[in-house]
Amino acid sequence: MKVLKENLSGIVVLTLKGEFDSFVTNPFSTEIGKVQDEGVHKIVLNMRLVKFVNSTALGAMIKARKGCRAAGGDLVVSQPSPSVREAMESLGLDRLFSIFDDDDAALAELDKSGAVELDEDAESTVMIHVPEATRPIVARLRKLEADSIECRMPAGAPDLVRGRELRLKFRLPLYRKEYFEVAGRVERCESEGGQAVVTLHITEASDADREAIESFVDDMRELRDAARGGN
């Protein structure tokens, strides 16, 4: 079995390829141990390319998940192949592990902050897709307007110069279950506190998404105005 490792802003994605059986559980556990030794305890296992998995390998996954959760993180599964899903369901592990249809959803779940007030204490996750990158940049939503998004991301992210076209995916958990998927253009990128703060103009969105974003922004303004009036 081959393992491709990618560290995305403190969340590690391990893409497994081949047969995951008793012969490779020790190398798998060693790889997990290395990740945890680096201080990372949020792990996504992408298993779309796994042809076979046995009970010993599933046991190693359970142990790895237990170690992540003990350290305040989690280990989740993304895109399980039909054989992996069948094996997990037969043992009831689909009720133990969080399973996601794609890496974006898994990353968002591991990186979510829970609230959507969009102030300094509550930021939602944004997946920024750069054309040449194999994985999205995990950013945090700071401000949302009807036609623009401001988000914070780690320094050293791919060059996001003014005018750069990107695709974004984000969710406002307490407002709407579905993801917003929009296209944007970089208007400004600045350094702040060792991170990059990027403002993007929304250039393309479905009518439903635009209407929902406008409604959310209006609702938040009304709530804040009411709160100020009550002080």
- Number of domains the chain contains: 2
Residue 228 clears pLDDT 60, i.e. is over it = no
Q: Which residues contact 189 (CB under 8 A, 6 or more apart)?
A: 160, 161, 162, 196, 197, 198, 199
Residue 173: pLDDT band (50, 70, 90) is low
* Tens of pLDDT, residues 127-138: 888 877 777 888
Contacts for 134 with CB less than 8 Å, ≥ 6 apart: 6
Q: Do 101 and 60 reside in the same domain of the chain? A: yes
Among residues 45, 75, 109, the one where a domain terminates is: 109
Beta bridge partners of 3: 16
Domain boundary among 109, 136, 159: 109
Q: How confident is the model at residue 157 (pLDDT cuts 50, 70, 90)?
A: low
**CATH assignment of the domain containing 93:** 3.30.750.24
- 42-64 pLDDT, tens digit per residue, is 999 999 999 999 999 999 999 99
123 residue type, one letter = E
Q: What is the CA radius of gyration of the chain?
A: 20
List the domain range (segments joined by +) for residue 142. 113-229
User: 104 with 12, same domain?
Assistant: yes
Instruction: Using a cut of 0.75, tell me whether the model's pTM lies above it.
Output: no
Whether residues 14 and 45 share a domain: the answer is: yes
96 with 200, same domain?
A: no
Residues 105 and 129 in one domain: no
Burial of 17 (0-12, 13-18, 19+ CB in 10 A): middle
Examine the fold and report which residue of 87, 109, 131 is the final residue of a domain before the chain moves on: 109
